[in-house]
Structure 1
Amino acid sequence: MAKTELKSDALMDQMKLHLSTDAGKELTQKIGLVYQINIAPKKIGFDEVVYVVDLKKGDVTKGPYEGGKPDATFSFKDEDFIKVATGKMNPQLAFMRGAMKIKGSLSAAQKFTPDIFPKPSKM
């Protein structure tokens, strides 16, 4: 089976670059938490691609978190993740509608906002 190409992959690559900048380093100092993000092509819980956004080390990796438990784990469909990350969908609304599922610390989850993502560059 061909590996699924997610729109989120490009966003995560940008996030990785963003975290290596000064603005990214400020984020890691301010937030200091580890998030696991499970992104499904069509339906939450199926064929998910797992990313770890480590705002302690300032890194983004593919695959489940290996340093114990992440502070919070999010599950999204690819298109919903893009909407939340780009600020087109309110995270609370996404959660209430079931477009986003959260496991772990809710206070940690609340610090995971669209402003931690790099702004899409205007082409």
Structure 2
Amino acid sequence: MASKIDSELKSAAVLQQMQQHLQSDAGKEILAKIGFIYQFVIAPKKLGKDDEMFVVDLKNGKVYQGAYDGKPDATFSFVDDDFVALSSGKLNPQMAFIRGKMKIKGSMSAAQKFTPDIFPKPAKL
């Protein structure tokens, strides 16, 4: 059962698509390949101000709003626009980390599997 992501963030639309994507055959391949639980802390403009939390569970194929009940494999912190750029492939995860646009806590090996490839490709208009 998909839970509604209720947020004003642009990232929320990406995460909502991700939720549907994980139900597809391509999504099931991602689950088999990655199998980690990622938590995201996303702020509208500046981290630490009005942050929202989301979980992308690539073990069980769930995406939801809120904190993970337990210890996620990796937690990423972003500003909304940087998350959208990264998920669409416009921002390289390594460069985002080096430039301080993405903060990581938790397992670095789990974090390294977090790439734009796990996100559904935006529909071509």
- Provide TM-score, normalisation by structure 1: 0.94
Query: Could you tell which deviates more after superposition, 68-77 or 39-48?
Result: 39-48
2:9 maps to 1:6: yes
Number of matched residues?
A: 120
Q: What is the alpha-carbon distance in structure 2 between the residues aligned to residue 23 and residue 87 of structure 1?
A: 17
Q: Equivalent residue for 1:71?
A: 73
- 1:1-123 mapped onto 2 (5 Å cutoff): 5-66=8-69, 68-123=70-125
Q: Aligned partner of 1:49: which letter?
A: E
Unaligned runs of 5+ in 1: none
Q: What is the alpha-carbon distance in structure 2 between the residues aligned to residue 64 and residue 116 of structure 1?
A: 20
List structure 1 runs of 4+ shifted beyond 6 angstroms. Answer: none
The Cα shift of 1:4 comes to 6.0
Q: What is the alpha-carbon distance in structure 1 between the residues aligned to residue 80 and residue 112 of structure 2?
A: 20
Say which SS state the counterpart of residue 81 (structure 2) adopts.
helix
Per-residue deviation, residues 77-106 of structure 1 (Å, max 9, x unmatched): 000001111110111110011100000001
Identical aligned pairs, as a percentage?
64
Say which SS state the counterpart of residue 121 (structure 1) adopts.
coil
Q: What is the alpha-carbon distance in structure 1 between the residues aligned to residue 28 and residue 97 of structure 2?
A: 28
Q: Aligned partner of 1:37: which letter?
A: F
Say which SS state the counterpart of residue 99 (structure 1) adopts.
coil
Query: Could you tell which deviates more after superposition, 4-13 or 77-86?
Result: 4-13
